[in-house]
A and B are shown apart, each in its own frame.
Chain A
Amino acid sequence: MDRERFIGTITARLGRRPRAEAPPVPRRDAGAAAEAPDREALVRRFCERLAEVSGTAVAVADRAEAQAAVERLAAERGYQGLDCPAALRWPGIEPLCSGDPRAADFGLSEARRAIAETGTVVLWHDAAVPRAASLVPPAAGVFVPASTVVPRLGDITARLAAVARPDLPACITLMSGPSRSMDIGYVSCMGVHGPGEVIVWVIADE
């Protein structure tokens, strides 16, 4: 069906003339703004909430500490391949970086923000943050700067509302812990399609 007819049918059913613009969108009355929690409290809450959905959050002092943690994990577990996009590589893991998520034991991503209330990381999938790194390997790691943790989902959507359409990436993922399902006998199990393990390093000085 063509666009004019499709939309015209809707207008006709609504029983009014076509409008150039919709009236103002009703907004939720958020009440008095709560005092913003400090960064430490937000990071603490983020870590607790991620643990509640079976993810692991690790607070680290700086990026070097986070990188050392990835190297240690790779050595302990004998990882053969890491899916680290070019922007996230460093000499200590370079030899393991295959760039092929299908063959990787572990994928690493950089999150743009995190949400304390839900233990969520916000992945902005542009060239530097491919989608598969946090999706296809059996375990996923994420670096996120402590300064980017916000209290709740509404703080993210408010920021996204201010982004002009052409500046949005093709995909944004909000990821909260490992892949899960209750579809077999109503019992929770992990790692059904996405990674069964999610580790987030929250970097204090960024």
Chain B
Amino acid sequence: MTANAERERFDAQVAKALGDRRLQDWLEDFQRLGQEAHVEAMGELDDKEAWRDALSELRAHTVANLDRYVDEFTANVEANGGRVFFAGDAAEAREYVLDVARGIPTKRVVKSKSMVTEEIELNGALEAAGMEVVETDLGAFIVQLTGEDPYHIIAPALHLTLEQVRDLFSRESGEDLPAEPDVLAAWARRRLREKFMTAELGISGGNFGIASTGTVVLVTNEGNGRMSTTLPGTHVAVMGVERLLPDWEGLDTALTLLTRAGTSQRISTYISAISGPRRDGDRDGPDELHVVLLDNGRSRILGTKYEPVLKCIRCGACLDHCPVYGCIGGHAYSRVYSGPIGAVITPLLEGLDAHAELPYASSLCGACVDACPARVPLTELLLALRADAVQSGLEQQSWRAGMRGYAELTARPAVWDAAVRVAGALAQPLAPGGVLRSAPGLLDKWTASRDLKTPVRRSFRRRWRESGGRVDDGRGS
């Protein structure tokens, strides 16, 4: 997509989310519930800051030694009887999975939710080759039916109500289903069970890869990850190359924080640790295991100021804590990764020129940094991206004009005082609630994307002067 088209898509999605009263209320509730549960789940740890330090150090170490760990992981996957494919970009990854699928041959693919397969647009490629691709995570299944992108990196159908899912499943089933989660889930279970039983190929992501034993670790609550990697004869796991861990001890740190930070659970229902295809004598499990390690722009980040973003374990906590995500919703960001992590990783993977608006989709309040279990310095990275955007002349023109104007004003105290006085007097009738939603003149460039607090009648500088440097209560005499 061109930069302009991306920008228009972003603006349209923001407007759509802001105009949806129900969605706004729901996102507020969802974030409040999520944040409360997050505090409780993290608070149970004996010393949560020490755990976060440990994960941050572990991930930074892994990323700084990624060449060694890719080598070790690969040797061990192969020793376990699996195959590793090295995908430099999305096209190479798609081609490889297609080759595996065609070689079986495959009519039907079952998938366990994986953001990285969204990133490489795998479903479309398999479908174009005539295969049926079925998403089996309930949320991913729902957005596959609606034809939408995932709304949240761990809850793809977060934006849809129970009633909307009822209508969708009723249409799909041709039955009149009630708005009861258990009944709807039971219908989905029956529908998807049939797919699991007949699929030739199962595709998953990989939450972690353990280098010391060549083990792929999958985390799910529904069991779709287990089904996809147990019933079909072939399993392909696609993972970002940075998602490795040195060893099993590291898995304790990573898993403990992934589930507590991400879904506020002590542990997810199912953790599968897969070390190769089924062994002789095993009753079930796939005969073949393929692991696709995807670069697709990740190695470009190594050795730069953006390297700490590769510590991310994709738990989704930054989305749940971001006030901007809570307003603009998950579809405003790019197709795949949303929230603060999406605003950082998408421009890095796909190019800042195509996504120059994303680093500005943040108030830089730092709630994401406080929530991040791996201590990814998201606000620093967002600021660095903004600086890069300015260097490359990619920032919004209005931003540049505004900043130039602001620089002029602040350099001339007398002009500043006059401007503040005039603004204070003029703004009162325009903003009865104390907030300007649409400002006159050049300031409309600011209020096109942000609210503006009404300027005060008496500026701080004036109060300071009049009080002789003493603190008053601001109301004046």
Give the B-binding residues of A (Cβ under 8 A): 1-3, 5-11, 13-15, 18-19, 21-23, 25-29, 31, 49, 53, 85, 102, 115, 117-118, 120, 125-127, 130-132, 135-136, 153-154, 157-158, 160-161, 163, 165-166, 168-195
Interface string of B125-153 (1 = CB under 8 A from A): 00000000000111100100000000000
Contact A19 B67 (CB under 8 A): yes
Contact B212 A165 (CB under 8 A): yes
Q: Give complex CA distance A114, B47 in Å.
A: 24
User: Chain B contacts of A7 at CB under 8 A?
Assistant: 67, 70-71
Q: Give complex CA distance A26, B266 in Å.
A: 23
Q: Give complex CA distance A14, B71 in Å.
A: 15
Please, which residue of chain B has its CB at the minimum distance from the CB of A83?
B283
**Top 6 A-B residue pairs of the complex, sorted by shortest distance between their CB atoms:** A194-B223, A185-B162, A28-B54, A183-B139, A6-B86, A183-B138
- Quote the shortest CB–CB distance from B447 to chain A (angstroms): 33
Contact B86 A1 (CB under 8 A): yes
- Quote the shortest CB–CB distance from A173 to chain B (angstroms): 6
Q: Give complex CA distance A205, B156 in Å.
A: 46
Interface string of B56-96 (1 = CB under 8 A from A): 01100100111111110010100110001011100010000
Q: Can you pick out 7 interface pairs between chain A and chain B where the beta carbons lie within 8 Å of each other?
A: A10-B70, A14-B67, A14-B303, A154-B252, A161-B247, A176-B269, A183-B142
Contact A179 B221 (CB under 8 A): yes
Contact A153 B213 (CB under 8 A): no
Contact A153 B267 (CB under 8 A): yes
Known: A176-B267, A176-B268. A131 touches B284 (CB 8 A): yes
Known: A28-B253, A191-B185. A15 touches B303 (CB 8 A): yes
Q: Which of B292-300, B316-324, B396-404 contacts A (4 or more CB under 8 A)?
A: B292-300
User: Chain B contacts of A136 at CB under 8 A?
Assistant: 227
Contact B50 A14 (CB under 8 A): no
Known: A3-B86, A13-B303, A192-B189. A19 touches B222 (CB 8 A): no
User: Chain A contacts of B222 at CB under 8 A?
Assistant: 179-181, 183, 192-194
Q: Give complex CA distance A14, B295 in Å.
A: 14
Contact A193 B274 (CB under 8 A): no
Please, which residue of chain B has its CB at the minimum distance from the CB of A13?
B302
Contact B249 A161 (CB under 8 A): yes
Name the residue among A7, A10, A153 with the largest chain B CB count within 10 angstroms: A10
User: Chain B contacts of A165 at CB under 8 A?
Assistant: 76, 79-80, 212-214, 275
User: Chain B contacts of A3 at CB under 8 A?
Assistant: 74, 84, 86
* In-complex Cβ contact of A181 among B138, B212, B215, B284 (8 A): B138
Please, which residue of chain B has its CB at the minimum distance from the CB of A153?
B252
Give the A-binding residues of B (Cβ under 8 A): 30, 46-47, 50-51, 54, 57-58, 61, 64-71, 74, 76, 79-80, 84, 86-88, 92, 136-139, 142, 155-158, 160-163, 165, 181-182, 184-186, 188-189, 192-193, 196-197, 212-215, 221-224, 226-227, 229-231, 241, 246-253, 255-256, 266-279, 281-285, 293, 295, 299-300, 302-303
User: Chain B contacts of A1 at CB under 8 A?
Assistant: 86-88, 92, 295
- Quote the shortest CB–CB distance from B231 to chain A (angstroms): 8
Please, which residue of chain B has its CB at the minimum distance from the CB of A27?
B249
User: Chain B contacts of A49 at CB under 8 A?
Assistant: 266
Name the residue among A132, A174, A184 with the largest chain B CB count within 10 angstroms: A184
User: Chain A contacts of B46 at CB under 8 A?
Assistant: 31
Q: Give complex CA distance A13, B63 in Å.
A: 11
Contact B223 A193 (CB under 8 A): yes
Contact A2 B86 (CB under 8 A): yes
User: Chain A contacts of B215 at CB under 8 A?
Assistant: 168
Contact B266 A130 (CB under 8 A): no
Contact B221 A180 (CB under 8 A): yes
Q: Give complex CA distance A14, B267 in Å.
A: 34
- Quote the shortest CB–CB distance from B286 to chain A (angstroms): 9
Known: A120-B267, A126-B279, A176-B267. A170 touches B300 (CB 8 A): no
Contact B157 A183 (CB under 8 A): yes
* In-complex Cβ contact of A173 among B221, B246, B267, B271 (8 A): B271
Q: Give complex CA distance A182, B138 in Å.
A: 9
User: Chain A contacts of B68 at CB under 8 A?
Assistant: 19, 21-22
* In-complex Cβ contact of B226 among A14, A131, A163 (8 A): A131
- Having A157-B249, A186-B30, one finds 4 other A-B pairs with CB under 8 Å, namely A13-B300, A85-B283, A173-B273, A174-B271
Please, which residue of chain A has its CB at the minimum distance from the CB of B165?
A184
Contact A130 B47 (CB under 8 A): no
* In-complex Cβ contact of A183 among B155, B223, B246, B252 (8 A): B155
Q: Give complex CA distance A169, B81 in Å.
A: 12
Please, which residue of chain A has its CB at the minimum distance from the CB of B268?
A176
Contact A192 B188 (CB under 8 A): yes
Contact A127 B302 (CB under 8 A): no
Contact A158 B249 (CB under 8 A): yes
Contact A179 B61 (CB under 8 A): no
